[in-house]
Homo-oligomer: A and B are copies of this chain.
């Protein structure tokens, strides 16, 4: 069993982490916390997609919400938006270099989450939103 101390030493805690407003972890959480943002990044990690292609993959997201999330991800520099000046419009979304760098975090979250679910199945059901 690992001691708190051991873990503590691998932890690169800094002053700014202790203030919620300047904490880099909290920032990342904010980057990812819009509804379906994780899934959008996950899909775009496979291939660039057009607006309606994404929409088909996320059938429970309204057009408005998808636009909102995409705009937010773009503003945060995680995805790019490429407009082809044609009619009807063609708009292509993909991960930026920065966006690709956040994928390993999602993978790690996936690893923990999958473990967690396995254990949860053995005991009580997990609260989901």
Contacts and interface: CB of A to CB of B under 8 A. Distances in A.
Interface of A: 1-2, 4, 7-8, 10-13, 17-18, 20-21, 23-33, 36, 38-39, 42, 45-47, 57-58, 60, 75-76, 95, 97-98, 100-117, 119, 126-129
* Max chain B C-beta neighbours (<10 A), residue from A13, A26, A38: A26
* Oligomeric state, in copies: 2
Nearest to A107: B11
Given A42-B17, A109-B24, A127-B75, A116 B97 contact: no
A24 B117 contact: yes
Interface residues of chain A: helix, strand, loop or mixed (majority):
helix
Contact of A4 (B8, B39, B95, B112): B95
Contact of A24 (B11, B12, B98, B113): B113
